[in-house]
Amino acid sequence: MGIEAMQVGAVAHGSVRCAPEHFASRIVAGTPDVFSAPALGALVEKTAAEWMAQHLDEGQMTVGAQIVINHTAATPEGMEVTAEVQLVAVDGRRFDFAWTAHDGAEQVGHGTHQRFVVDRARFEGRLAAKLPGGR
């Protein structure tokens, strides 16, 4: 397929049901048992990455470089949170997304996300070089 198949304006959706592993209270003691901002970020990143993966050539992968999370409303356990990511710009290997998230009752977040297409072998080689002994 190739990255040229990813066109500005394309939209992808991803959802997750709010469960204890998503709770803010799992991250910061004393906070509520609601869908956390990090869980929201993970949903956005997963949605964008899985959509992009369908268009990559052999040996390519994507990495997240930036995410802006405006978490605007709480979501209790059992509700489904759905993220919509829209590709808004492409600059070479950089892909910029705008996103919104809803829980069925209201919008719970919005922001931006940026990903890069990279060569998997090169990425893994650079990562291995960071290890003691430069494996």
More confident residue, 4 or 37: 37
Q: Is residue 2 scored above 80 in pLDDT?
A: no
The phi and psi torsions of 2 (rounded to 5 degrees) equal: 95, 155
- pLDDT tens across 14-35, in order? 999 999 999 999 999 999 999 9
- pLDDT tens across 65-108, in order? 999 999 999 999 999 999 999 999 999 999 999 999 999 999 99
The domains found in the chain, sorted by start residue, are 3-130 (3.10.129.10)
In the DSSP assignment, the letter for residue 135 is -
Asked whether the whole model's pTM tops 0.85, one would answer yes
Per-residue pLDDT at 5? 81
